[in-house]
Structure 1
Amino acid sequence: MAFDGIRGLLGIAVLIALAWTVSERRTAFPVRTVLIGVASQLALAGLLLGVPAVRAALAALAALNGVITALSRATEAGTRFVFGYLGGGPPPFEVTDPGATFVLAFQALPIVLVMSALSAVLWHWRVLPVVIGGLAWAVRRGLGLSGAVSLASAANVFVGMVEAPLLIRPVIARLSRADLFLIMTVGLATVAGTVIVLYAGFLQGTVENPLGQILTASVISLPAAALIARVMVPADPAAAAAEDAVDADAAQPYAGTFDALVAGTEQGLRLLLNIAAMLVVLVALVDLVNILLGQIPSPGDPLTLQRLLGWAFAPLVWLIGIPWGEAVTAGQLMGIKTALNELIAFQQLAGTPNAELSERSRLIMTYAICGFANPGSLGIMIAGLTGLAPDRRAEILSLGPRAVLAGTLATLMTGAVASLLA
């Protein structure tokens, strides 16, 4: 265990070094930025996972895992009414294979609609603005970011990576390149509240208190993302700060509760369709790649993209605390999350046999794959940001691949921190 702790610290150092090797500016190494970022993440992780009182409070979230069941049942009532047996209702025929009756698009994904509508209502009732404003204050004080960037970064933990920049719409076009990249990185290194319940549902029985774990992972990834972003695209002291006169509580887009409910449902529908479409395309492309790779002779099992990604990520997941005997399996999960998306990775994690991943490794990988850093999410983010700042389209496009790399390194850092406290 002592060696595992040392390995986790080594992993953090290696991940930061990797970010520095692809940094845009080869000036002096940003020692102060790194120390503040690492200290902030370790302190936040220590508070959330190491302080008994806070751990007890997070454990209380286990009771909220019953909310997952309640929301799923409520959503199923709606899907049964609209889609019949495809949405979980009784089939009008004899079922010989119960597993074959599960239809992801009609039985799992619709919870995104419900969560999006509830999030919009909570925003209108000023519950989310208060929570986001408090976190933004902590981010600003802890990491020394501007108010606008702190607000957008904090919002990413609770709302989508497209919706969060809307809170700073008045200043988004004036953000420095470093601040724009930081917001993109945080958006790709966290997950939105609209899908947290969906992912927690997949992980029921896989890790303890999945709702609390995913929420904690998303919060802990925020300082890691800010650190990696500042290392890869350092702030320019000469750049004017785009202050700051942006208030989460002031951004009130809804005329009333019913308007919030309708608008939230419409936003959720777009998100659901995006998720479903990306799943169809990405799974098809991976299968096509696997068909081509299968033509290459290889010892043992046929060569697949998943096997290649497992080999590629194995050293990195070993560095963040996964035993070497489990590193290829964990590396495949990290590869699936990066090449496809985190939804499929969480599904694969839930279905991985206990013999291939220990309980501790499952917990570490829950933290490591908890982020949107993949090509599909990047496309959604680029579409949203270029709509807000069309004059900066070329810059946003050029920063996109770097943001995916930065988001991946940040979630790996979060996995390494989780390994220190697991």
Structure 2
Amino acid sequence: MLHSLAGLGVLVALAWLMSENRRLFAWRMVLAGIAVQIVIAILFLRVPLAHEAMLSLNGLVDALMAATRAGTSFVFGYLGGGDTPFEVTNPGANFNLAFQSLPIVLVVSALAALLWHWRVLPVAIGLLSAALRRTLNTGGALGLASGANVFMGMVEAPILIRPYLDRLTRSELFALMSVGLATVAGTVLVLYASVIGTRIDGALGHIITASIISLPAAIIIARIMVPETATGTEVGDDVPALTFNGSMDAVVQGTTSGLQLLLSIAAMLIVAVALVAIADIALSLLPEVAGAPLTLERVLGWAFAPIAWCMGIAWEEAPTAGALMGTKTVLNEFLAYLALAGLEPGALSDRAQLIMVYALCGFANPGSVGIMIGGLTTLVPERRDEIIGMAGRAFVAGTLATCMTGAVVGLVA
């Protein structure tokens, strides 16, 4: 417990060292934000009723996976999980990521659009944004877009406040970018939960909780690195709304958006795994270290071990956890979750695994930074130079925020 508490202090100190104005340290806001994170973590990890509710979300994952499998097996046959026309001697080789796992993004994207049309998501976003305004004193525009990030993603959420993007203060714009990189979109929550569900009970609940905890974490880190010096931007009646011409139109548009995301994920996985292989081939040319060839995983493990330790993970487990954190930061969080799911039994303790589930839950990686820059500069081209200038710092802020979330979980787990 004291270990993770000290780690929180280190992470806040790192953000302060990178601040644009170290004299403007809003310590009351920082303490309030950390308190909010701890309360959320205690609620879902320690309060029996809330914890059981979180664990019960596993049933939702199973239902969505079964429904998706019905569709993929109909379209792709045994490649999509249907019955094979031959005897399978190696059942483990029967799994196909592209045709059995990734299509769940299509189903969730269509459901998300449908829930938006039925006004379920707007109500949830409104409640979350109101909570952010009350606890962290964010402006209405930032609160609305930040709350939407949990459900919509870092490119779609700013669309909700498009008329206000050119009015946001520099600190608010930076916070919006940081929140986008510190959370994950609702369209991939179930995908990630399906990957790690075999290792972590209630995986979907944990990933949703991680995004919610990372919201105040990202705002805290952003306000430290780029302090607020003006009044927050409030919203009026001119906030654009996503509209669909009926439920069927919502399903069609949601499916189309999901297809674009699915193709992007598949392409990024191909390239990322290939880049890892190239790096391992290059490192294998160097002399062995500690009796074993160098690999990207080992190098990242050493580099990120101190960060893993700051989150409350024992030093002997820190290189393994650091390798996961490095994979998430250098490549992407999906590959990191796949690596977590593939760890040998006993490689990480149950507590360390739980911390890493939370710490890996964020879009802070170079590919996502590029997507964020492209999306925001299209929405508000007049602030292009400012967005590009702060993108690197937002990448750091998003990473520190998810690490802070991991430390909070380490504090209460």
The normalised TM-score by structure 2 is: 0.95
Q: For this pair of structures, how many residues does the alignment match?
A: 412
Aligned-partner SS, 1:156:
helix
Instruction: Give the distance between the partners of 2:84 and 2:44, measured in 1 at CA.
Output: 45
Identity, in percent, stands at 59
Match of 2:53 among 39, 51, 60: 60
Of stretches 169-178 and 20-29 in structure 1, the one that deviates more from structure 2 is 20-29
Cα distance in 1 for residues equivalent to 2:9 and 2:22: 18
Larger deviation, residues 382-391 vs 5-14: 382-391
Q: Are 2:219 and 1:226 equivalent residues in the alignment?
A: yes
Segment drifting more, 27-36 vs 163-172: 27-36
Distance in 2 (CA, whole Å) between partners of 1:123 and 1:201 is 23
Residues 174 and 222 in structure 2, CA contact (< 8 A), matched pair in contact too: yes
Aligned to 1:25: 21
Contact map agreement 2:8 2:407 (CA 8 A) in 1: yes
Structure 1: gaps of 5 or more residues: none
Are residues 247 and 134 of structure 1, via their aligned partners in 2, closer, same or farther at CA, if it must alter by over 3 Å?
farther
Please identify, of 251-260 and 59-68, the stretch whose mean Cα deviation from structure 2 is larger: 59-68
1:339 aligned to 2:335?
no
Code of the residue aligned with 1:267 in structure 2: it is S
In structure 2, the gaps of 5 or more residues are none
Q: 1:401 and 1:213, CA in 2 relative to 1: closer, same or farther beyond 3 A?
A: same
Match in the other structure for 1:251:
241
Displacement of 1:94 = 4.3
1:63 Cα offset (Å): 2.6
Q: Is 2:144 the counterpart of 1:148?
A: no
Q: Counterpart in 1 of 2:276?
A: 286
Give 3-state SS (helix, strand or coil) of 1:115's partner. Answer: helix
Residue by residue over 1:241-299, the C-alpha shift from the partner in whole angstroms, topping out at 9 and shown as x without a partner, is 43212688x72421211111111111111111111111111211121111111111022
Contact 1:167 1:247 in 2 (8 A): no
Deviation, 1:349, is: 1.1
* Matched ranges for 1:5-24 at <5 A: 5-24=1-20
- Compute the TM-score of the two structures, normalised by the length of structure 1: 0.93
Query: Match for 2:144: what amino acid?
Result: L
Question: Could you tell me how far apart the structure 2 residues matched to 1:194 and 1:369 are?
Answer: 16
Aligned match of 2:45 in 40, 43, 49? 49
Question: What displacement does 1:118 show?
Answer: 0.1
- The aligned counterpart of 1:269 is 259
After superposition, what is the alpha-carbon deviation per residue over 1:286-340, rounded to whole angstroms, capped at 9, x for unaligned? 2111111111102222111211110011111112111111111111111111111
1:397 has 2:393 as partner: no
- On the 8 A contact 2:43/2:50 being kept in 1, the answer is no
1:175 maps to 168
Task: Please say if 1:385 is aligned against 2:376.
Answer: yes
User: C-alpha distance in 1, partners of 2:384/2:97?
Assistant: 34
Distance 2:135 2:404 in 1: 18
Q: Distance in 2 between matches of 1:97 and 1:182?
A: 49
Secondary structure in 2 aligned to 1:352?
Answer: coil
> How well do the aligned residues superpose, as a CA RMSD in angstroms?
1.7
Structure 2 contact 174–226 (Cα < 8 Å) conserved: yes
- Pair 1:88-2:78 in alignment: no
Kindly indicate whether the alpha-carbon contact (under 8 Å) linking 2:58 and 2:201 is maintained by their aligned counterparts in 1: no
Quick check: 2:276–2:296 contact (8 Å CA) kept in 1? yes
Aligned equivalent of 1:204? 197
Distance in 2 (CA, whole Å) between partners of 1:316 and 1:126 is: 40
Amino acid at match of 1:419: G
- The reply to whether residue 216 of structure 1 matches residue 206 of structure 2 is no
